[in-house]
Amino acid sequence: MGKRYFCDYCDRSFQDNLHNRKKHLNGVQHHRAKKAWFEFFRFSDAATVLNEERTKEPCRKFLQTEGKLNAEAEGCWRTFGDPDRDGSSNERSIDEWLSRREKKLDALTSGRVLNVEEEECAETIEIPPYLLSIPDLPPSLHPPPTGGWRVTVHNEWG
């Protein structure tokens, strides 16, 4: 049968002759396994890994994604204002948020379920005519009542 060669990196054995050994040692799988083996021990020194990672250049996909994100961010800054450049847009958004929060709290304390945005949308909702012709339309397809649904608060348990 002959001698067998066992590769510790790849965890496999094959017939030991010049042709097979040369083919295996120059193979892609062997190179990957060998690299993975040494990478396993390399990560013990964090300073070396950090220095190596800092010297690498970002890949092409990262640069493309970063460029797209920068373009989208510029578009948002033009539309809504850059909060870092002037504080007025930031203050305005806080004031708007506080006013919407007060309206939501008022709606909850009055027993209505619809929040302010849903209420504004509910005023403009029109049922398509083909839905009105269907008998026994499920309640989920009916528009909400004008005042919203009433909620009964149950404070007692059991």
Domain ranges of the chain: 4-56, 60-86, 88-141
Q: Which of 140, 144, 116, 143 is nearest to 128 (CA)?
A: 143
Look-up of token digits 């010297």 = 55
**Rounded Cα distance, 71 and 79, in Å:** 12
pLDDT in tens, 93-132: 777 878 888 887 777 666 555 555 555 555 566 667 777 7
**pLDDT at res. 122:** 52
Q: Is residue 158 within 8 Å of residue 119, measured between CB atoms?
A: no
Please tell me whether the overall predicted TM-score, pTM, comes out greater than 0.75 for this model.
no
User: For residue 155, what are its two tokens?
Assistant: 């404070």
Q: Which two tokens stand for residue 141?
A: 């397809």
C-alpha distance from residue 88 to each of 72, 75, 84, 157 (Å): 21, 18, 10, 47
23: pLDDT strictly greater than 90:
yes
Q: How far apart are CA 93 and CA 107, in angstroms?
A: 21
Per-state percent for the chain, helix, strand, coil, to nearest 5: 60, 5, 35
CA distance 146 to 148: 6
Q: What's the N-to-C CA distance of the chain in angstroms?
A: 81
